[in-house]
Amino acid sequence: MPELPEVETVRRGLLKIAKGRKINAIDVYYGKTITNDVEDFRQALIGQTIEDIDRRGKYLLFRFSNNLTMVSHLRMEGKYYNQPIGGPIDKHTHVVFQFTDGTELCYHDTRKFGRMTLVETGDEKTVGGLKTLGPEPTAADFKLAFFQDELGRSRGKIKPFLLNQRHVAGLGNIYVDEVLWMSKINPEQPANSLTPDQAAVLHDNIIKELAVATKYKGTTVHSFTNAFGDAGGFQERLNAYGRGGEKCPRCGAKMVKIKVAQRGTTFCPHCQPLVED
DNA sequence: CGAATTGTTGAGCG
DNA sequence: TCGCTCAACAATTC
């Protein structure tokens, strides 16, 4: 469930518990988490120091002293936590990095969907979705003209369009429902049918919503916690996601939950009407 | 006990 | 070649 605000929150936590630490040993309990050869991965990183941790979209980039970068994607339920070496792990702890200072960083993932890939720094673009990842959802990177151009070339529904990381990085199911609600746009509206005003409002809301959610340290739904095990604070500010059957916070009409592109989708039929041609 | 849940890739189709 | 749809992945909760 981690979308951009949650991944950024994790990154900030990792800076405090992992940056500057030197790896003394690595235990791998579930090999598929690592897409490289596991032995190559271990040999390349043992003895190296985590110099910095960056983020691109929902991808974490661990920068190592030997010009290597570990790309880590949490997918559904991946999470990192630290503890003294030898602390408790369970059957969902798949990788443990032991540091020379007596602490260890554990990667835990109940669904086993998350992946780590080690590449030469600068070659990150060869990793999975980073090849085609769209701009960061910031005013500096995410240009309205680009967004309008992409919208115009897509006949698909706006919700799957926004979930596609090629168009803009960082949105997932929760924040797509939120920004569409804020923008009063129906999730099934064809992307190329949005008016210029709607496109501009949507563009601004994507930037604002993700920035505000990041400020609140993300949304805790089901299981998300940051690197310290704390809950995020944004879930109390959600207006659409998880509110199927409830009253719309804006107009009081009953919110509806449907499936769009195989995903649970909540919206207000009154505020977000489908506009036919 | 089947359905729902989530992000991303890749196959298949037109 | 491109864009869209859908299956697959995995495990837990309801």
A263 in active site? yes
A199-225 per-position pLDDT tens digit = 999 999 999 999 999 988 787 665 444
Q: Which nucleotides of B are covered by protein (CB under 7 A)?
A: 4-10
**Mapping DSSP to helix (H, G, I), strand (E, B) and coil, where does residue A241 land?**
coil
Q: Is the CB of A124 under 7 A from strand B?
A: no
pLDDT at A223: 45
Could you give phi then psi for residue A271, rounded to 5 degrees? -75, -30
Distance of CA A16 to the CA centre of its chain: 20
Q: How far apart are CA A125 and CA A129, in angstroms?
A: 8
A40, with CB counted inside 10 A (0-12, 13-18, 19+), is exposed
Bridge partners of residue A81, in order along the sequence = A106
Q: Is the CB of A128 under 7 A from strand B?
A: yes
Q: Where are the domains of chain A?
A: 4-130, 144-267
CA A180 / C1′ B3 distance in Å: 26
A3 in active site? yes
> A224 or A269: which carries more pLDDT confidence?
A269
Which range, of A26-30, A60-64, A204-208, A227-231, averages the lowest pLDDT? A227-231
CA A131 / C1′ B9 distance in Å: 12
The model's confidence at residue A120, banded by pLDDT at 50, 70 and 90, is: very high
A63-110 per-position pLDDT tens digit = 999 999 999 999 888 889 999 999 988 888 999 999 999 999 999 998
Tokens of A80: 């990192």
Which nucleotide is nearest, taking the CA of residue A76 and each C1'? Answer: B6
Q: How far apart are CA A262 and CA A255, in angstroms?
A: 19
Handedness of CA A199, A200, A201, A203 (dihedral sign): positive
pLDDT at A241: 87
CA A82 / C1′ B14 distance in Å: 50
A136 in active site? no
Distances (CA, A) of A82 to A86, A156, A174: 11, 43, 27
Longest distance between any two alpha carbons in chain A, whole Å: 64
pLDDT at A221: 63
Q: Is the CB of A277 under 7 A from strand C?
A: no
Average pLDDT over chain A, rounded to whole?
90
Q: How far apart are CA A38 and CA A36, in angstroms?
A: 6
Residues 6 or more apart in contact with residue A141 via CB below 8 angstroms: A135
Bridge partners of residue A26, in order along the sequence = A97
pLDDT at A218: 81
Question: What CATH class has A144-267?
Answer: mainly alpha
Do A4-130 and A144-267 have matching folds? Answer: no
Binding-site residues of A for DNA: 92, 111
Tokens of A202: 């949507």
Q: Which CATH number fits domain A4-130: 3.20.190.10, 3.40.50.170, 1.10.10.10, 3.40.50.970?
A: 3.20.190.10
Choose, from A21, A58, A184, A217, the residue flagged as catalytic. A58
Distance of CA A271 to the CA centre of its chain: 27
Residues 6 or more apart in contact with residue A196 via CB below 8 angstroms: A148
pLDDT at A225: 42
Answer yes or no: are the C-beta atoms of A181 and A195 closer than 8 Å. no
Q: Is the CB of A3 under 7 A from strand B?
A: yes
> Is residue A128 over pLDDT 90?
no
A135-186 per-position pLDDT tens digit = 999 999 999 999 999 999 998 999 999 999 999 999 999 999 999 999 999 9
Instruction: Find the mean pLDDT for residues A44-69.
Output: 95
Q: Is the CB of A167 under 7 A from strand B?
A: no
Run of H or E including A162? helix A158-163
> Is residue A46 over pLDDT 50?
yes
